[in-house]
Homo-oligomer: A and B are copies of this chain.
Amino acid sequence: MATLGAHIVHLAPGELDLAAPFAGAFAQQNGYWHAGAIASLADSANGYAAYTLAPPASDILAVEFKINLLAPARGEQFLACGRVIRPGRTLTVCQAEVFADSSSAEAPPSRTLIAIMSSTLIIRPAP
């Protein structure tokens, strides 16, 4: 998360929002954020959301995730909102929505839904 410059902007049981600024190092050929950077942010939001409901001294690992990319990832900031859909003792399922925030001199600030992710995470005792 340090590599992406991400920080937590919302935290509640089963909920975690991560924000990260656009950075050219993670852009793809058109100057938008790479799908991999978006997926990293959403995967982390889902992982931390699961962590808020896990027993102490647990380790959380993603088993699988799927992302639908809905719109080009252009903007000054990205926001990934992870939510626990079903907590479990062994497996937890989360969903994330990723938004792009943009502003310019000509237009009011806008927030666009750019991706949705569903994840399965496994909870284990920390090593």
A120 engages B62 (CB within 8 Å): no
Determine whether A40 belongs to the interface, using a CB cutoff of 8 Å to chain B.
yes
Number of chain copies forming the complex:
4
A42 to B, closest residue via Cβ:
B36
* A36 close to B37 (CB less than 8 A): yes
- Give chain B residues whose Cβ lies under 8 Å from the Cβ of A90: 90, 122
Asked if A66 is at the interface of the complex by the 8 Å CB criterion, the answer is yes
Contacts of A116 in B (CB 8 A): 85, 93, 95, 118
* A residues apposed to B, CB below 8 Å: 2-3, 25-26, 29-30, 34-37, 39-41, 43-44, 59, 61-71, 85-86, 90-91, 93, 95, 113, 116, 118, 120, 122, 127
Q: Top 3 nearest A-B pairs by Cβ distance?
A: A36-B40, A66-B66, A70-B86
